[in-house]
Structure 1
């Protein structure tokens, strides 16, 4: 089996031997109802999925107006909540990965690094996340640890979690008012006090209907969290809404198939929440009402997989693993069919697509000031595309697959590669400014903060794709802090 085939099998089929628990608010003592039984109950259920869990008759939709107002009041470049105490994966709800006020030094060196990742699982690794004040760096590991460091590399605290019994953490925490929220591959979601490292609350997998994993990074709006959970038997997923103060689930929709990895993006101006999944489908809800709006099926060489998946809608080879940013009334989607799409947020119609040379699973970055989207592909290239037309502005070879996050700064693009390097590319031309050699595949995002850049890599493992040999950890992956090399 070649590496691509093995990776598809590993990512798509992980956990298939684990029985999924009864879904969505089943009361104690009731007879378990399978997902397929629920989906066949009637036309109404088939139309709206299971939005609004059984036993959860009311919800208080979050107020999205502050986010929309902030986008209008500033330059519209990054739709962040109007609160300096909020920090999220890909920077904000729109998931732009854009840092217009940060500059990248002409040359860098490693100031410090710490071992963090040890698991060969092929999902992109968690991105180190600075707190809004920049004084604490949270590093979540695929070992199930979470550690807090100062910018100088001094360890403040570290905790072991229940995720250590699984594949640890691959999502990135959302940080709000001194609390970090993160889901783990144990299927639990954690709220952690950043000052002390104490767990404030922990919502167990059973409260997510028997989830086997949460690889999604939470989105936060007005006291409410949104994330995706994964299930097996059958491979499927659900979008969940939680009360951030207590961790109590308040709503869910389990129409997703294919064990979804992306993090939901929310466009408060357009009134849409969007995500993708391993079935090759983009799902979109109205926001904040959470009425289902539309879906879009990407292509794929494998074609529909018939009855074993979602009534023929599951396209092998079309998996959508990257988080989908929203901008200019559109969603920007990379697929394992090798294409990168712009979809109309209003109805999900395809406005253009761009063909790369291999699968696309990276998290794109968007520069709204220039109207450019930057995306990496397994064809070893990063592409700069015009957001309006899809025209290629430039491409750059980075020596290996790009499966992590692309970051845009004032003048540079930061991107990690399977060739073990972190690259800084000129934002206007794609020319290499510098690259830093590391140990393992660089699959986290790179976060600029002041004069420092934080990122993480995978551990170095052997025999991961060889079923006849034991997988061996040769060396742990590290989290790094780069500083200017003056």
Structure 2
């Protein structure tokens, strides 16, 4: 009897809850119909201990520089095998699958952001100097930090852009820019430029003062998320940035006004590479493109493996050769024509690779560092595709290798964490 009464009671309560939901749902839907704004709204910046330095210049930037070359110059004559120097275990243990942040490295040490929300600074002995915890997003930090003489800049997956004291990790300034920042900033003449994501989905390009975080300008809304990091073509005073709209768009450096747009067949996820008067970039439509940097006019396009590339291209020292990772293969191409010189499958790969290659130029040899298996990095001779060394990992690798003064940095997912190799 008691069981029957309890069952009837549960049914009545469930009916009342369903009725309440039915009555309030139309009101809820009406309340959630927000007005769509035609352009980004400039945000406020909270300032704390600002730097006294007026002039500032970048010391470490994603993909090596503002034109995102993916090229490192070594002081050595030829390639020598890498040896593990030290590691910082257990990085990137968050659940979000976006490409992970790459380390920022300069003469004062190295700075590692991960997808659990920490940004940590280490000295050149591998000792922890300080750590900063954003604590506002379960998806952590995927933007690669940028450093200058006395500050570190990074965006998190909750849309905050931070400037931290390089010596202590204390906040200099913070500004809320949007819903997410997945792109990595570059700096020119003391101004930071970074892509911002909004919820609709939408997004825009933002310029802020590096010293105090003051908003200088925003581009028009672009219509979808800019996971791609902005790149600078200085001779034309343009910033190029791709997005999930499938378009590579150019903006004026001074005010963010749109100059030109080149449309591909799918999302653009990684930064354009600018070299001379050309821009090179990949798309999820399966092609790599070369366009005129000042007009967006197509020069050539080359089909990679089907499934689309999430990789940024890299260029060699004399600008004649490109390296890029496709869906499940690596490619090396001629910059003049887009002709594929050689290609290699990523062994055991069943899903789209997310890592980007790095070209290292020695005095008498050039090499390319690439993901060659699910958990292995290979170093190839750029000219003849000969494998010179492989580095086995215990976790996944989805960022960009970083090379600084004959040392190689790999920020992996899981037990390996950050691996630092030396030659």
The one-character-per-residue Cα deviations of 1:224-256 (angstroms, maximum 9, x if unpaired) are: 111011111x21111111111111212112421
C-alpha distance in 2 between matches for 1:96 and 1:357: 22
* Matches for 1:252-291 after TM superposition, within 5 Å: 252-291=218-257
The one-character-per-residue Cα deviations of 1:334-374 (angstroms, maximum 9, x if unpaired) are: 00010000111222121111101131111111125142111
Where do 4+ consecutive residues of structure 1 move more than 4 Å?
A: 53-56, 82-85, 102-105
The one-character-per-residue Cα deviations of 1:137-192 (angstroms, maximum 9, x if unpaired) are: 101010110111123321111121134x3311111111111211110001100111
C-alpha distance in 1 between matches for 2:375 and 2:57: 34
The one-character-per-residue Cα deviations of 1:267-300 (angstroms, maximum 9, x if unpaired) are: 111221101001211111133343311111111x
C-alpha distance in 1 between matches for 2:294 and 2:330: 28
C-alpha distance in 2 between matches for 1:383 and 1:147: 34
- The TM-score, its normalising length taken from structure 1, stands at 0.72
1:353 to 301, 307, 313: 301
C-alpha distance in 1 between matches for 2:185 and 2:193: 5
Extract unaligned runs of 5+ from structure 1.
1-18, 23-30, 39-49, 57-81, 300-317, 460-475
Contact kept? 1:458, 1:477, Cα under 8 Å: yes
1:371 to 302, 320, 323: 320
The one-character-per-residue Cα deviations of 1:5-45 (angstroms, maximum 9, x if unpaired) are: xxxxxxxxxxxxxx9xx9xxxxxxxx97414xx2xxxxxxx
* Matches for 1:16-415 after TM superposition, within 5 Å: 33-35=35-37, 38=38, 50=39, 86-103=59-76, 105-114=79-88, 115-131=90-106, 133=107, 135-163=108-136, 165-204=137-176, 208=177, 211-232=178-199, 234-299=200-265, 318-358=266-306, 359-379=308-328, 381-399=329-347, 400=349, 401-410=352-361, 411-415=366-370
Q: CA deviation at 1:217?
A: 0.7
C-alpha distance in 2 between matches for 1:438 and 1:369: 32
**Secondary structure in structure 1 of the residue aligned to 2:64:** coil
What RMSD in Å do the two structures reach over aligned CA positions?
A: 2.4
Correspondence 1:483 to 2:422:
yes
Q: CA deviation at 1:84?
A: 7.3
Q: Which residue pairs with 1:471 in the alignment? A: none
Q: Aligned pair count?
A: 373
C-alpha distance in 2 between matches for 1:85 and 1:219: 8
C-alpha distance in 2 between matches for 1:479 and 1:417: 18
Q: CA deviation at 1:109?
A: 2.9
Q: CA deviation at 1:422?
A: 1.6
- Pair 351,212 (structure 1): closer, same or farther in 2 beyond 3 Å: same
Q: Which has the larger radius of gyration?
A: 2
Q: CA deviation at 1:403?
A: 1.6
- The TM-score, its normalising length taken from structure 2, stands at 0.82
Extract unaligned runs of 5+ from structure 2.
1-28, 45-54
C-alpha distance in 1 between matches for 2:56 and 2:346: 36
- Pair 106,201 (structure 1): closer, same or farther in 2 beyond 3 Å: same
**Secondary structure in structure 2 of the residue aligned to 1:357:** coil
Q: CA deviation at 1:122?
A: 1.8
C-alpha distance in 2 between matches for 1:409 and 1:227: 26
The one-character-per-residue Cα deviations of 1:291-338 (angstroms, maximum 9, x if unpaired) are: 311111111xxxxxxxxxxxxxxxxxx110011111121211100010
Q: Which residue pairs with 2:393 in the alignment? A: 438
C-alpha distance in 1 between matches for 2:157 and 2:373: 23
**Secondary structure in structure 1 of the residue aligned to 2:342:** strand
Q: CA deviation at 1:111?
A: 2.1
